[in-house]
A and B are shown apart, each in its own frame.
Chain A
Amino acid sequence: MIDIELELSPEDSAFREDVRAFLAEKFTPELRREAELQTGVFADGALSAKWHRILFERGWAAPGWPKAHGGAGFNATQQYIFNDECARAGTPNLPVAGVRLCGPVLIEFGTPEQKDFFLPRILSGEHVWCQGYSEPQAGSDLAALECKAHRDGDEYVINGQKTWTTHAQFADWIFVLVRTSREGPRQAGISFLLVPMDAPGLSVRPIVSMSGEHEVNEVFFDDVRVPVSNLVGEENKGWNVAKFLLVNERGSGSGAAYLKNALGMLGKIIADDGPFSGAACDPVFAGRLAEIEIEVAALEQSEHSLLEAITRGETARGHTLASIHKLHVSQIMQAITELEVDAIGAFAQIDQAPVLFGHGEASAQVPPRALTPVAHYLNMRAITIFGGSSEVQRNILARAALGL
């Protein structure tokens, strides 16, 4: 790897030392071992809750929120440093629905009452959130959504279905896009509602992924009632809220760190003293790895340049770069997981789901580093699909960057 140092002010350097000291102390070897066994897009519910709690106690549960709302109040550079250091250390990849998606939406569009009630509970981890966007007939074409809500006095009554809902099984609340009108353009009849998962009429059905992991779900709404005070923004203006959220979902600004963490795991799989060290000596494998490293370096440089531009107050290319970075991060991540699978060779055939997800015993005949690659590879097929598929990102870029 080529090391690219971000040029830091003395304050930001001191901040980085703080983060490193915190991680050295709080990210214990036990937590690291647990984190290394994660193969999903996000760390599982229990581990996520544990790590979130540790961050909360330090005041860092919400790096991007302003201090006024209980966030860490980090500036753009500090957020980047924080994400970078966490990824270098290999901390659990926390679910985004609460802190990264719902929180910023409430800060931007929420009523004072919504902010006062929900924000502290997102921060403390008391409320775990999930995201109700996709439906069976509305995936990339989100505006085709049909899950509907109608007013009945002071309540909305919701009927319909959401799907691919990450961590619905752990969630206390779900934010949903619902159809409240069929007049005018499709986008003009959508509203953004907050729904407790224990509401009567709401049910969850697990969807087991091809890795054997239970990460996503279907969520059904059968005459589910919520007070109108659970509406975010105005009725039928939910599309603006939805788009605001999608931009946050796309751009985390530290994809390179995320990928370097994955490369670190790959490094452990093919370590010199391990059973899969042969891969590293194979010139074809080494060549593929080198190409990936170079692409990660390019991405990191691009992120640094964007960060410097943002710090100077320039935002012109931020929007298109978010789509470009999503394309790069997802493609590179998939390429890394392919190398993981190729590194362990024939061991890829053994089903590790019972060990990883079913509390089964690992076989003494299987090297520990062979446990995760296949599940990681299978789960990461989703990364070019969720959060706006690669094709949707290209549609966005065709319009925004090329004027087509």
Chain B
Amino acid sequence: MQQTDEQRELLASLRELVERVLGDRHESLCGAGFSSETWQTLGGELGLLAASLPEAMGGMAAGQEADAILMEAFGKHLVSQPYLSSVVMAAALLDVSDDAGSQHLAAAAQGEAILVPALADSPSDTQFACVETVATITDNEVLLQGSKVLVRDAPLADRFIVLARQDGAADCPHVLLILDADVPGISREDFGTIDAATGSHLRFDQVRLDRSAIVVRGSEALERAALATDSAIVAVCAEAIGVMQAMLEQTVEYAKQRVQFGQPIAGFQVLQHRMVDMSVAIEQAESITRLARGKLLTPDRAKAASAAMALVAKACRGVAQDAVQIHGAVGIADETPISRYFRRALAIEKQFGGKAYHLKRYMQSADTF
């Protein structure tokens, strides 16, 4: 996707601004959990969270390129923020052209409300084939019953966006609902994640909702869930690149300072080549991610997203392992930043299905010779 000079300038200034904001706060943010104050600053004061959204919603209309810039910066500074849930996925799930949808998104983009999608019932159901959470829709209300396992960011949520099956509907039975997180009948079992984020297992027990909770019904609901997931995959690949670049940079820096056998270990060819291989893997990951970003709104979307995730997952594992190895024993200490990046890299690998899953999905959607 070729950009005009104007778009390139806009993106460059966005990149610069994000880098300045996060760079200034690096020490306090790196590897720490969610910071409500930072979220408010990024959203309200600076308007950065809206960069990908249409101008009518206070955004820059910079789409997935803006998502990529923000995610890469979050990765580089190891910032744990619910951007993937509340902006990237929410924008694909909600309809920006209708009033309710755009109000929810505008609130999310200003950092006022955090939207958290809860789509599959279980993380292994990546294609939403086994959604058993049931929405019984009557003339005046919606009754929600079911559970969602492993919903990242759920403890932060002001609202959930839930994929459910409509009771009694045979064809295209899915429905997307948006509901306040504190509606009676919702219970959460919270946990921390290895990468300083949080998540929950959710239960919906006789949750009564107004019919205005319905976002969309039928095949469109499923299609939006799939688009949201692929958008998130491509965005998390961009975050992975930031994570890997930071790991490489810190590793090179460390190798230049660490003296053993009377010289900096950066002088040893075996380590030089290992660091080069890290950078080569990152270059490859960047290219495939750029490719997938360009394919997000085309029929090749799923194939390209899986190609990217498969290659990025492989790169994440290799780069992270090499980074810790070159840091030596220091690399396995919790207090060393590299160990926190290592855990984020592992979580990224697993967040939307790992390398093997995406390789299979690529093959299933790939043309054969």
Contacts and interface: CB of A to CB of B under 8 A. Distances in A.
Interface stretch (A57-65, A109-117, A287-295): A287-295
A267 B367 CA distance: 12
Q: Which of A293, A298, A404 has the most CB of B within 10 A?
A: A298
Contacts of B368: 280
Given A270-B369, A394-B272, A398-B272, A290 B362 contact: yes
Contacts of B276: 394, 397-398, 401-402
A267 to B, nearest CB: 3
Contact of B266 (A264, A287, A293, A404): A404
A298 B252 contact: no
Contacts of A298: 284-285, 287-288, 291, 311
A272 B148 CA distance: 43
B290 interface: yes
Nearest to B251: A402
Contacts of A271: 369
Interface stretch (A11-19, A33-41, A301-309): A301-309
A275 to B, nearest CB: 16
B272 A301 contact: no
A308 B269 CA distance: 34
B280 interface: yes
A394 B277 contact: yes
Given A4-B291, A398-B275, A294 B310 contact: yes
B252 A403 contact: yes
A291 B359 contact: yes
Contact of A294 (B288, B300, B369): B288
Contacts of A297: 288, 291, 304, 307
Nearest to B310: A294
Contact of B280 (A1, A300, A324): A324
A301 B2 CA distance: 12
Nearest to A331: B280
Q: Is the interface of B mostly helix, strand, loop or mixed?
A: helix
B303 interface: yes
A305 B286 CA distance: 11
Q: Which bracket fits the contact residues of B?
A: 35 or more
Contacts of B283: 302, 321, 324
Contacts of A401: 276, 279
Interface string A251-271: 000000000000010011011
Given A267-B369, A293-B366, A298-B311, A7 B2 contact: yes
Contact of A328 (B256, B273, B284, B367): B284
A395 interface: yes
Contacts, number: 104
Contacts of B307: 2, 293-294, 297
Given A2-B307, A290-B366, A293-B366, A395 B269 contact: yes
Contact of A290 (B255, B269, B277, B363): B363
A298 B272 CA distance: 24
Given A270-B369, A301-B287, A404-B266, A294 B362 contact: yes
A299 B290 CA distance: 11
Contacts of B294: 4
A327 interface: yes
Interface in B290-315: 290-291, 294-295, 300, 303-304, 307, 310-311
A398 B251 CA distance: 13
Q: Which of B284, B285, B295, B311 has the most CB of A within 10 A?
A: B284
Interface in B230-272: 252, 255-256, 266-267, 269, 272
A57 to B, nearest CB: 33
A3 interface: yes
A302 B285 CA distance: 10
Contacts of A208: none
A327 B281 CA distance: 11
B69 to A, nearest CB: 16
Contacts of A126: none
Contacts of B252: 402-404
A391 interface: yes
A305 B287 contact: yes
Nearest to A6: B2
A21 interface: no
A7 B3 CA distance: 11
A402 B275 contact: yes
A90 B180 CA distance: 60
Contact of A291 (B273, B286, B310): B310
Q: Which of A305, A324, A404 has the most CB of B within 10 A?
A: A404
A394 B304 contact: no
Q: Which of B276, B283, B290, B368 has the most CB of A within 10 A?
A: B276
15 contacts: A2-B291, A2-B295, A280-B369, A286-B363, A287-B360, A291-B310, A294-B288, A295-B284, A297-B291, A302-B283, A305-B290, A397-B279, A398-B272, A401-B276, A402-B272
The 8 closest A-B pairs by CB, nearest first: A267-B369, A302-B287, A298-B288, A398-B272, A301-B291, A298-B287, A301-B287, A394-B273
Given A294-B307, A327-B280, 6 more contacts: A291-B311, A301-B288, A308-B2, A324-B283, A398-B272, A401-B276
